[in-house]
């Protein structure tokens, strides 16, 4: 897909750097609150990635990653059917992120709240700067998560912790988020994007088949029963290892042309 075909709202800024594409939430004056235009723009971006894109980085402009759903929209949308459809729209769009063309790396800083945390949870790798903090204030606002958070967040931190966050308004800081498994990497303020770039380049160096297997097949295996899981694993293992690029890489190692594993 040609990048010129995509017209994004001003609340999103896309940058295409060869195999890595960046999408920036660009609504800092509203703390990157996720309104309808922005969320639909995310769908536009994720469904029209150029052929050469192998990894996407999501980050936020200003002091915060995202303050979550734009609450002003909830006072306009008072029809129940419309509200259900709105949540289902987020589900569809975040599904494009989780099960889209390529792995997605999120850089988190400042507020990662409500729908912002739901968006982060739909990404595959999360890099947190030490300023990041996580909350689900839906409970105090009288609402509920609607962006797939009740499916994804318990799988990251456990149902009991999500209950605590929603019932008591508990906020986790960046260190706690790292310990609990919200983030994979914890870095100093201002260095998240550089870390994301480094990680993205490593991911892009994998074969596309491996990246597909890890992001599309692994989560499905985890949700399947063991018998379906073992069979699916055997099938994707066979598909991956007989891929031409995998064969070339295996030969390169055996002929001592590929680097050994180095401790990190």
Name the residues annotated as catalytic.
Answer: 118, 138
Q: What is the rounded CA–CA span in Å between residue 38 and residue 57?
A: 16
Counting contacts by CB under 6 A, is residue 172 touching ligand 1HE? no
161-176: b (≥16 Cβ within 10 Å) or e: bbeebbeeebebebeb
CB atoms inside a 10 Å sphere around CB 134 = 27
Please select the residue that binds ligand 1HE; options are 41, 60, 68, 192, rule is CB under 6 A: 68
Smallest separation, CB 158 to ligand 1HE (Å): 20
Residues in the interface with ligand 1HE (CB under 6 A) total 22
Counting contacts by CB under 6 A, is residue 56 touching ligand 1HE? no
Instruction: At 79, list the tokens.
Output: 């029809």
Query: Which 95-124 positions form the footprint of ligand 1HE (CB under 6 A)?
Result: 111, 113-115
Give just the sign of the alpha carbon dihedral 90, 189, 12, 139: positive
Smallest separation, CB 233 to ligand 1HE (Å): 33
CA angle 150, 24, 11 (to 5 degrees): 90
Contact 46, 80 (CB under 8 A): no
Counting contacts by CB under 6 A, is residue 214 touching ligand 1HE? no
Counting contacts by CB under 6 A, is residue 239 touching ligand 1HE? no
| Stretch in the footprint of ligand 1HE (CB under 6 A) among 6-14, 121-129, 139-147, 197-205 | 139-147
| Binding positions for ligand 1HE, rule: CB under 6 A | 30-31, 33, 64, 67-72, 90, 111, 113-115, 137-138, 141, 143, 145-147
């Amino acid at each position: 897909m040609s990048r010129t075909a995509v017209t994004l709202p001003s609340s999103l800024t896309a940058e295409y750097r060869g195999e890595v594409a960046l999408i920036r939430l660009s609504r800092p004056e509203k703390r990157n609150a996720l309104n309808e235009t922005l969320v639909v723009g995310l769908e536009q971006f994720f469904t029209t990635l150029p052929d050469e894109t192998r990894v996407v980085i999501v980050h936020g402009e200003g002091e915060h990653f995202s303050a979550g759903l734009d609450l002003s929209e909830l006072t306009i949308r008072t029809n129940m059917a419309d509200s259900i459809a709105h949540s289902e729209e987020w589900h569809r769009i975040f599904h494009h992120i989780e099960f889209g063309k390529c792995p997605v790396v999120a850089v988190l800083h400042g507020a990662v709240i409500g729908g912002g945390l739901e968006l982060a949870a739909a990404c595959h790798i999360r890099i947190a700067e030490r300023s990041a903090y996580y909350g689900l204030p839906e409970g105090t606002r009288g609402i509920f998560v609607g962006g797939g958070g009740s499916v994804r967040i318990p799988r990251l931190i456990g149902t009991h912790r999500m209950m605590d966050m929603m019932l008591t308004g508990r906020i986790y800081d960046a260190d706690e988020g790292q310990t609990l498994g919200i983030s994979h990497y914890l870095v100093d303020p201002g260095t998240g994007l550089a870390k994301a770039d480094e990680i993205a380049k490593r991911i892009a160096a994998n074969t596309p088949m491996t990246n597909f297997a890890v992001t599309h097949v692994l989560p499905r295996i985890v949700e399947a029963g063991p018998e379906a899981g073992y069979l699916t694993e055997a099938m994707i293992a066979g598909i991956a290892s007989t891929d031409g690029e995998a064969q070339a890489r295996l030969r390169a190692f055996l002929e001592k042309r590929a680097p050994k594993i180095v401790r990190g």
